[in-house]
Amino acid sequence: MSLIEIIAGVESHEATLTVFDDDPAVARTLAEHFADRNVRVVDGSTDGGPDGYAVLSRDGEFVTAVGVEELLPAHSTEIGDPSAPDVDGGIPEDPTTGRVGEPVLDHLDETMFTSYSRGDMVAASREIEDRAWRVGRGELHAGFQTLDVLTGETNTYDRLGEKPELDVHAYATDEGDAPNADYYTVHVARSAEIRETWFVAFDGDGLDEAKCALLAEERAPGEFYGFWSYDPATVDTIIDHLVSRYWSSETTDDGDDGATV
């Protein structure tokens, strides 16, 4: 299963948020809030019963119910600040913290997003890098598309790689010069999926509750579509794919050989 196929698999499991409220504007407002999520918002009929609540379901099964007022806080904090702090900066543990619709997002191990800019992707990546830094053990895998992009992240990944029990791996296509990577391993591949995706995955040093990943496809220049996940099975699938394809034979999607530096 390729990285692109993993994204498609998560995308296919769309959740549904059914809104029960006398005011039709509530559903419209929530639909706008969740427009960049893998959540479909629909009106529900109360038939004279209570209203002012919403039900989240997935594949026809109940997930959670929540009052609409909890989904529409007066103030929220959005990620996407390209000046987000680096691994020493103490960014939030969960990138959904404080966001509109948090009671729903908390029940989604895998949260889709659309049209993220590079600034959004950097901000989301920092959360995973920060978790790996604080745990200080295990494996961190990050895809940079090209060596040119990786070179711009050398300082951050040198610091991460200096953790003696943290095994750091970077992936990029052969566009630009490879950085001097004394503290982490660079996998150079002639691979379409590496060129077209952005990912950061941390294995939690084997602890399921510490595993997390971000995976996105660049579907238009500078616009990314994908998901972040705290589901251990999804994180394992991403890392297993990277290890099996790019560590041993270094075989690429195009059948060419890659290299490890």
What local confidence, expressed as pLDDT, does residue 249 receive? 45
The C-alpha atoms of residue 161 and residue 163 are separated, in whole angstroms, by 5
Q: How far is CA 77 from CA 29, 102, 123, 194, in A?
A: 17, 11, 13, 31
Could you report the per-residue pLDDT of 144-203, keeping only the tens digit for each? Answer: 999 999 999 999 999 999 999 999 999 999 999 888 899 999 999 989 999 999 999 999
The C-alpha atoms of residue 197 and residue 214 are separated, in whole angstroms, by 10
What local confidence, expressed as pLDDT, does residue 102 receive? 63
Q: Is the dihedral of CA 66, 72, 77, 82 positive or negative?
A: positive
What local confidence, expressed as pLDDT, does residue 36 receive? 66
Domains of the chain: 5-71 (3.40.30.10), 109-260 (3.30.870.10)
Identify which has the larger pLDDT, 31 or 103. 31
Q: Percent of the chain scored above 70 by pLDDT? A: 78
Q: Percent of the chain scored above 90 by pLDDT? A: 48
The C-alpha atoms of residue 67 and residue 58 are separated, in whole angstroms, by 18
- Global pTM reads 0.72
In 149-253, beta strands by DSSP E: 165-173, 185-188, 197-202, 212-220, 223-229
Model confidence at 206, pLDDT cuts 50, 70, 90, reads very high
Range with lowest mean pLDDT among 1-5, 185-189, 206-210, 257-261:
257-261
Could you report the per-residue pLDDT of 67-102, keeping only the tens digit for each? Answer: 988 887 553 433 333 333 343 333 334 443 444 556
Opening angle at CA 31, ends 29 and 33, nearest 5: 70
What local confidence, expressed as pLDDT, does residue 240 receive? 97
- Mean pLDDT of all residues belonging to the chain: 82
Identify which has the larger pLDDT, 106 or 251. 106
Q: Which of 168, 172, 170 is nearest to 183 (CA)?
A: 168
What local confidence, expressed as pLDDT, does residue 39 receive? 82
